[in-house]
Amino acid sequence: MIKVGDDLPAVTLTRVTTEGSEPVPAAELFAGKRVVLFAVPGAFTPTCSKAHLPGYVVQADAFFDKGIDMIACLSVNDAAVMAAWQRDQNADRITMLADGGAAFTRAIGMAQDTGDFGGVRSKRYAMLVEDGIVRALNLEAPKEFKVSDAQTLLALV
């Protein structure tokens, strides 16, 4: 599993854009930037939609004021689902990343098989990434939401 001090893997993600979506290598996406990256088990799911993503939407200015260049939300969903969730949550300041085949999620050791919930999904976590290197990592225990929320990560920035 990825840990503080590790480089993010050389995997391509799909970034949701106003024009649709585009593949982008993680190395390019995170190069030269301070990024808050948080992952959810699934778009439109209860905790993800009621607490996790909304917390980052509300705290976006506070993160940007502290020098964060990008706030990114990752899920093992396709880009169309991530775009719809972004619209539904008024999350236009959050970069939505689709990891449809779970390549990134598997490469960092955060994949979990959720069975009938949706198959392979990401564990819930948040990390601070600087120039592609993990500087802080908060991984949630199963079925918990205590350390990957916006307020907790804001305190680490």
Catalytic residues: 48
Half-sphere exposure of 95 (CA within 13 A, CB side): 19
Length of the chain, in residues: 157
Q: Which three-class secondary structure state does DSSP give residue 119?
A: coil
Give the integer Cα–Cα distance in Å for 22 and 108. 21
Contacting residues for 142 by C-beta, under 8 A, at least 6 apart: none
Give the integer Cα–Cα distance in Å for 30 and 36. 10
Give the integer Cα–Cα distance in Å for 11 and 85. 23
